[in-house]
Amino acid sequence: MIFNRILSTFRHLEFDVIHTLCRSALLRLFVVNLLFDWSILRVALAEDPKAPDASTIVARKEQPLEISSSGKLDPSVIHGPLVITASNITIEGGGLTLMGATDDPKTFKGTAIAAVGVSNVTLKNVKARGWETGLKIVDGSGWTIENCDFSDNFHDPEFGWGENGRRGGIVLERVFNSNVLKNRANRVWDACVLVDSNGNTIAENDFSHTSNTCLKLWHSSDNVIAKNVLSYGLRIKPGEVRARDSACLLIESGSNNNHVVANNCTHGGDGIFVRVLNNWCSTGNLFEYNDCSFANNNGVECWAPRNTFLRNKANHCSYGFWLGGSDKTRLLENEASFNGLPDGFHNSPHLPNDGHAGIVFMFGPSSHTVVRGNTCLGNNGAGIALIGDGESQGKKWKAYHWIIEQNTLARNRWGVYARFADWINIASNDFHSDSSEPKGNDNTLADVDTDETVTRLALIRSPRAHQRNGLAIFPPTVRVIGPLSCRVGEEIEFTTGISNAAKSNLKVAWDLGDGTMSDSVEVKHAFAAVGFHRVGVTVSNGVSSELAWRDLIVVRDVDEIGTEGSADAWSIEDFHERKRSNEQISRAEFTNEMTDRLMGKSSLRVVIRPYAGFRAALTFPKTRDAQLSLEGKTKLVFWIKAINEDVTGWQGGPFIVLHDDGEKRYHIEPKEGLDLMRHVEHNEARDGWRLMEIPLQGDDRWQTDGNLPQNVRAISLVFDSWGAPTLRIWIDGLSLQ
């Protein structure tokens, strides 16, 4: 055979001849491939003296090896992909390399090591390269993955904006209580991805130099991410301004209560990016001691509420911390210096005169925020910037209820820059580069720059006001104790949780969100309006302050239609002009939710799975024999909360159908261009309850089609997503009013 003669020739060539041939890149690739195939042939010959032909060899090389017991792999044997089929085993790779393709990394296919539904497996010292994914585990727990190398798998540095699949190094789906330790995955798309995976430890890995993310979490909570090298998560073309949402660490879609500590997240598109594309927020995460410096865009970018950033570094980026839409955030003792400099990264200047900032809250609400003990030096713009909605002149939202104290803010243009802000305490900040010997204003334009759009500003300029006799005075401890919801006109009580011994030395300020203020430790109040109320309190000991908050929902007792113990009476129907047949694809599980409710004994919980991707109509009653009179009724009202996993979110809606006595339908839906499922009235409603009041005759936001019936036989609430993920919807208080 010609193939055998070629192999025989190369076996007898002298090394220096081969070396000369390999000076050509093309010949070098040719030689490498031939020698690689020769090694496969040699192993096959050792196993089969009949010398199978090349097609048999390739088939054997690609045939998966199933592993069902503990053991050590022989690194001298050429293996195809591995499939782990048993639990409670240990696999020692011994340095074995699983080789896939050797051509263009963005064309790599297959998974080197796969496991589905197995647990308590230890995998050590194995390498995989040339695959779409190095390791993929689905539905397992108790894994240990240690000292493995999944570098040089799928990689696409030239890919543009958008999603390109979960692939590259390690992909974990529904994996729990497992350890990923001291592994490597470089030059891949995603080095490590966690999907629906909780309680894992990701530690001391080198997941650097990726074309999308070094580590990505999707709906993955309670994980510890410690001491990893997550640098150079970067995808950018020469001369390009932004890095196409590449990041060292990307967290999104309900990834909560993770502890992210002491990771190297430098030189990324973003260092740490907490992304909210679908209104599914990631909350309760603690980020501490991470270095996110030298990011092309932002050292830390976060659009989700209720996260804490402690002692991180975000220096020499375009912005240190970009935190628009991050309500209830705590920034404590971080560094955010030398950002936006002309000779460094300086993309997207949004402050006056092409200014940047060390810490900025902009283009999204920022209520109940604490910024304490941070160092912001030499930024090309503001040390700290808090800016409400400029387009509406603060009518849509303001930077609301802030504490800015004990920060070092020097050698910037402005120490603090504020616009469209309300109820702001600024105290005990140091605006000089040498606090022991003040030299005047080190910020070139102003220490604190505000205008008439900033209201209720309390400003104490002394840099050491938080000290007494040289000793630090710590902020008081405060929390809001009181209900999460109440009825209109019902008197309720809020307290600060402060001990009686400390009350006499503290100054208290309440804002109940409806114009009611109080300076009492306890406050009683009856709310007159249905809806969301942003309750806040600030407590000061004279030199330092602390705040707390409560999101309060005020409801009205109504005659509920289908949302009080009536789950069995609902149905689902697919309908849309794009639907190709009468086949019913979507299925829904309707349950009476006793815990997460606003009124009565239950709300209605709906899980749509599978979902066809068309408009899905939830109809009550499914028998369509109700007798609901519209006499004197002007609006359909209900409370709703929802989780839509699709990254592009909802496709308009909600859409309402009223079924009359015949076959006719009356439609109410948002006017063209309005997506009232996506755009919420208050930022807190992204992961909470929101009130829908839908006028039966339409108005400037709602349009109608058909004739409004006098009696309604059934009501359909219709939802539509751009994708076809599982949809989770809670509805309470459905009524005609």
Q: What is the pLDDT of residue 467?
A: 59
Same domain, 251 and 351: yes
Q: What is the pLDDT of residue 58?
A: 28
Q: What is the pLDDT of residue 468?
A: 57
**What's the token pair of residue 625?**
């024999």
Q: How large a percentage of the chain has pLDDT more than 90? A: 77
Calculate the average pLDDT of the chain. 88
**What's the token pair of residue 533?**
């109320």
pLDDT (mean) for 90-116:
95
Answer whether 348's CB lies under 8 Å from 269's CB: no
Answer whether 288's CB lies under 8 Å from 332's CB: no
Paired with 168 in beta bridges are: 133, 190
Same domain, 509 and 466: no
Residue 244 within any structural domain of the chain? yes
Residue 562 within any structural domain of the chain? no
pLDDT digits (tens, 9 = 90+) for 372-422: 999 999 999 999 999 999 999 999 999 999 999 999 999 999 999 999 999
Residue 76 within any structural domain of the chain? no
Does 106 have pLDDT greater than 50?
A: yes
φ, ψ at 27 (rounded to 5°)? -65, -35
**Amino acid occupying residue 421:** A
- Produce one character per residue of 385-424: b if its CB has 16 or more CB atoms within 10 Å, e if not: bbbbbeeeebeebbbbbbbbbbbbbbbbbbbbbbbbbbbb
Same domain, 430 and 525: no
CA distances from 160 to 208, 215, 268, 561, 677 (A): 20, 19, 16, 48, 28
pLDDT digits (tens, 9 = 90+) for 284-328: 999 999 999 999 999 999 999 999 999 999 999 999 999 989 999
Q: Would you place residue 510 in the very low, low, confident or very high pLDDT band (cuts 50, 70, 90)? A: very high
Q: What is the pLDDT of residue 75?
A: 87
Residue 683 within any structural domain of the chain? yes
Does 45 have pLDDT greater than 70?
A: no
Same domain, 503 and 638: no
Helix axes 25-47, 54-62, angle to 10 degrees: 90
Choose from 61-65, 261-265, 278-282 the range with maximum mean pLDDT.
261-265
Same domain, 468 and 491: no
**Amino acid occupying residue 302:** C
Q: What is the pLDDT of residue 42?
A: 33
Q: How far is 719 from 619, CA to CA, in rounded Å?
A: 11
Same domain, 513 and 612: no
Same domain, 396 and 505: no
Q: How far is 313 from 430, CA to CA, in rounded Å?
A: 19
pLDDT digits (tens, 9 = 90+) for 539-591: 998 888 999 999 999 999 999 999 999 999 999 999 865 555 678 999 999 99
Q: Would you place residue 500 in the very low, low, confident or very high pLDDT band (cuts 50, 70, 90)? A: low
CA distances from 466 to 108, 449, 472, 562 (A): 59, 22, 6, 56
**What's the token pair of residue 108?**
């790599």
Q: What is the pLDDT of residue 664?
A: 85
Does 44 have pLDDT greater than 60?
A: no
Does 725 have pLDDT greater than 70?
A: yes
**Class of residue 87 by CB neighbours under 10 A (exposed 0-12, middle 13-18, buried 19+):** middle
Q: Where a domain ends, among 502, 533, 555?
A: 555
Query: Distance between alpha carbon 444 and the CA centroid of its chain, in Å?
Result: 37
Bigger pLDDT: 194 or 575?
A: 194
DSSP 8-class letter at 217: E
Same domain, 359 and 384: yes
Query: Distance between alpha carbon 15 and the CA centroid of its chain, in Å?
Result: 54
Q: How far is 53 from 341, CA to CA, in rounded Å?
A: 63
Query: Distance between alpha carbon 434 and the CA centroid of its chain, in Å?
Result: 39
Same domain, 100 and 224: yes
Whether the ω angle into residue 157 lies within 30 degrees of 0, i.e. cis, is no
pLDDT digits (tens, 9 = 90+) for 470-492: 556 788 889 999 999 999 999 99
Residue 501 within any structural domain of the chain? yes
Q: Where a domain ends, among 434, 451, 472?
A: 472
Q: What is the pLDDT of residue 580?
A: 58
Same domain, 42 and 189: no
Residue 617 within any structural domain of the chain? yes
**pTM (2 d.p.):** 0.89
Same domain, 719 and 571: yes
Domain that holds residue 577: 567-736
Residue 73 within any structural domain of the chain? no
Residue 164 within any structural domain of the chain? yes
DSSP H/E element including 637:
strand 635-644
pLDDT digits (tens, 9 = 90+) for 616-672: 999 999 999 999 999 999 999 999 999 999 988 899 999 999 999 777 899 999 999
pLDDT (mean) for 501-505:
65
Same domain, 422 and 531: no
Q: How far is 315 from 334, CA to CA, in rounded Å?
A: 10
Return the CATH number at 91: 2.160.20
Q: Would you place residue 35 in the very low, low, confident or very high pLDDT band (cuts 50, 70, 90)? A: very low
Return the CATH number at 713: 2.60.120.260
**What's the token pair of residue 31?**
């030689």
pLDDT digits (tens, 9 = 90+) for 425-473: 999 999 986 545 445 558 999 999 999 999 999 998 766 655 555 556 7
DSSP H/E element including 56:
helix 54-62
pLDDT (mean) for 14-34:
34
Query: Distance between alpha carbon 417 and the CA centroid of its chain, in Å?
Result: 28
Does 497 have pLDDT greater than 80?
A: yes
Q: Where a domain ends, among 424, 449, 472?
A: 472
DSSP H/E element including 190:
strand 188-195
For the chain, count helices (H), then strands (E): 5, 54
The number of folded domains in the chain is 4
Q: What is the pLDDT of residue 470?
A: 56
Q: What is the pLDDT of residue 658?
A: 97
Question: Strand 485-487 and strand 517-518: pairing?
Answer: unpaired
